[in-house]
Every structure is written in structure tokens, then in C-alpha cells.
Chain A
């Protein structure tokens, strides 16, 4: 049991998240292409890209300092640590002792902070623009994310994601808590903003004045770029996992049995696939909103999460 929980579970989680992340993004791209009557790249295209990029050497600007070289590793490792803090297949979390959901929020912030620093580091005009926009979006998205996760924590009585998942699994009536609906809606908007999907940012363009995330990583190449791309894929999958496993934890294995993990993996794939298709439908039906309209959308998310936490306090 201790061997299983100490060694096998962390490795399993890293393999699942890091291995599946490019597939999920490739799946989203493929479905979206099919819906637009294009053939689209293969589902596995992002794996080919990663392998190709990892074999290439990186070109670094002469003015860049050590921050530029450290950034890909900091971003990637912070995402990897989050992988170990989130319940993926089992409600048991590998590094339960190290931290809770607050640490997760700060680790996301750490990776983003270094990305923004590195975008300023090379002195490219696009980089600084992308960085300042990313900061503007995240400054408004972060409070909404915190408040909506705290609502779940209050309802479950713990800030530890593993405990939240197991509490939600055991007491099904808590799922009918109306405050959690508001928190769910707020977190869904925040996830769209944090991962730079279409109403906020366009992930498919590189040369447009409206880009946010792509503008920041324009200077990276070769293996550095591979690490950053991989980290952003994993961020999308991790945020979806947090959404799915805290609000809809059905099918997550409470223990560590082999059959339980297999069943949990199958249910997990179905849930992630469902939300990926939801993202595709959202991207198909909305145009990218103007930059100065973004506070409007994120303000809605903030108001929803604030109402979630207040109505939970006032009514229950």
C-alpha cells in the first residue's frame, strides 16, 4: 500500500497528465477542424511537434539573461508539481502533505510570472505587449478562481483537493448545493481565460496584434519552445481535471485497487472528452472578444464566484 501510494501513484499521475495533454489539445483541434469542414491535422500532431522541437537546438537572443533560459524549466516543473497535487484517477493525492489548493493557484502564478518576465527579457515589442496583456487577464481571473475554489472548500470542509473529492464522493447531497453551480460557472469562465481559448485569446494565430499567450512565447525556439508548449497543454488538461474531479467526482476511485483505477481512467477519459467537446462548441459559436471587453466577461466570473461564496454563507 505504501509502495503503491508513494511510488506508483505519482508516476501514474505524471504519465497520465503529461502523456494525455497533447492528445487532448490535438483532439480539440481535430474536432474543431472537422466542424469547420476541414480535414485538420492528425490527433497526434502535437506529439510529432514536441519530438521534432526537442531534437532541435534553441536560438537565444543576445540580450537575454538567465531568466530567459530558466523560464521553460520553471514553467514546466511548476506544472509537474501541480500534477502531483491534483486527484486524477484516485482521490488519494501523492504529495498530500506538501500543500493544498492555495499552493496550486500560486504554482500556476509562478509559471506565468516567469513567462511574463522572459517575454520582457528579450526586448521584443510583441513580447512586452503579450506579457502586459497576460498580466491584465490573470489579475482579473485569479480572484474569481480563488473564490470559486474556496466555495467548494467551504462546502467540503477542506482546502485539500483530495479531501474535497472524497467528501464529494461520499455525500452526494452536497452536489445539489446551489452555491456550487455559481462556483462551477465562474470556474468554467476562468479556465477559458487562463488557457487562452477563443473568446479571450486566439490560440491559432501567431501574427496578429490581438494575441496574448502566443505573443509572450514568440521568442522561444527549439527545446525551450517544446517545454513551454507541453506545459501549456498540461495546464489545459490540469484545469479541466480540477473542474471535473472537484465538481463531478463520480467514478474517481476512492482507494488504490487495480480494477478501480482502470474504471476510473475510463470515466476520466469520457469526462475530459465531454468537456473538450464543450470547449470546441464554445469556440465555434463565439468570436474572439475585443481586449477591452475582457474585463466584462471576467467581471461576470468574479461576480458569480463572489455570489457563490456569499450565498453559501448566508443560506446554509
Chain B
């Protein structure tokens, strides 16, 4: 039984590390479509993790959140983002205020801070799933960083989605998820948020002929 628990927590740790890798991909990739694929991949891993946690903990409502997140985050939201990209016909290149290599190094530093700052908490926690809390904090902070530094509206949406993933993962791994009604609320928030932002991206493109958010500061009649 103890061996079983070790194997389970190791599996979840490995999936957490895969999520961390896909977040690094979000920072390091220079193509918009690859970033969206990275998001779909991370959401898939997250759904897998929540399925595993539902199975091991025996809490049934996590199955429902697993199913919803599988449909919503792996299929609908990436599909919608691809649809927007094709619709507004933008250049398939990520633009950033700072260079790729520098933003990679900064996000590496952020991840290190996440690991360092959760050290003191992990000492008192159980010895299992030790990568989960640092990784979820790291994903949240890197998503925030991506939101700040990227120029295009689409990549800012991807940063917001990364933050949401990180928070969801943190809740899942530390306290077996939030109550079902809260989870459902967050899911619909995200869905509606992404759709509204997508419509905004389209409108920005119509009005300013670019989706670079820098141009929003210019006054127009």
C-alpha cells in the first residue's frame, strides 16, 4: 500500500514536471500556433492529473471537473483561439517587449523563486507530491509574466489561461480541488472571458489594423 502511494505521487510529480515544461515552451516558442498547442498539451496533462487524483482520493465530483476541463480546455478554447488566429489573419509570430532568451532566463528565475519560496511549507506537508505546489505557483507566476511582456492580445490571453491552470492545479494538489459549484463558476468565467477577449481581439484588429496592444493608447476619432 505504501509502495502504491509512492508510485502514485511520483506519477503526479512527473505530470507536474511535464506541465512545467509546456509552460517553458509557452515562453520559448516563437510561433503563435505552437503556443496554443502548448496550452492544449498542458490542459490535457492537467485533466489527466485531476483524473488520477479523483481516482486515488475517491472524491466523485473531481471526475465531473475532469470531464468539463477536458472538453473545455483541451478542445473548445484552443479550437476557438485557432479560429480567431485564422479569422484576423495576423502574422504567426510572437512579439515581445524583451528578447526570447532574456524572457526564458527571467522565467527560469521565477520558477526558481517558486521552488525556493515553497520550501518552508513543504517541510511540514506530507512527503508526497512535492513538485506540485512549486510547479503550480511557477505556472501562475510565469503566466503573469507572459501577460505583462507580450505585445499581442492573443499571447496575453494565453498568459491568463496559464495563470488559471496554475491556480486550478494548486487547488487540486493541495486540497483535492475546490467545491464543485466554485469550479463550475471558474470554468464558465474562463470560457466567457476567452470568448469576450476573442471578440475584442477581432474588434481591435478591425479598428487599428493590428492586434498589438501598444496601439490602444493612441487616440482616434
Contacts and interface: CB of A to CB of B under 8 A. Distances in A.
Interface in B97-125: 100-101, 104-105, 107-108, 111-112, 115-116, 119, 122
A299 B119 contact: no
A299 B130 contact: no
B131 interface: yes
Contact of B111 (A173, A181, A296, A307): A307
B35 to A, nearest CB: 13
Interface stretch (A24-32, A113-121, A240-248, A308-316): A308-316
Interface residues of A, number: 23
B21 interface: yes
Report, as a range, how many residues of chain B touch the other chain: 20 to 34
A306 to B, nearest CB: 6
A279 interface: no
B149 interface: no
B142 to A, nearest CB: 11
Residue among A179, A185, A304 with the highest chain B CB neighbour number at 10 A: A304
Residue among A181, A299, A304 with the highest chain B CB neighbour number at 10 A: A299
A277 interface: no
Interface in A164-196: 173, 176-179, 181-182, 185
Contacts of B108: 303, 306-307
Residue among B6, B25, B101 with the highest chain A CB neighbour number at 10 A: B101
B41 to A, nearest CB: 13
Interface stretch (B9-17, B156-164, B169-177, B203-211): B9-17
Given A296-B100, A310-B115, A173 B17 contact: no
Nearest to B11: A176
Interface string B11-42: 10110111011001100101000000000000
Nearest to B16: A178
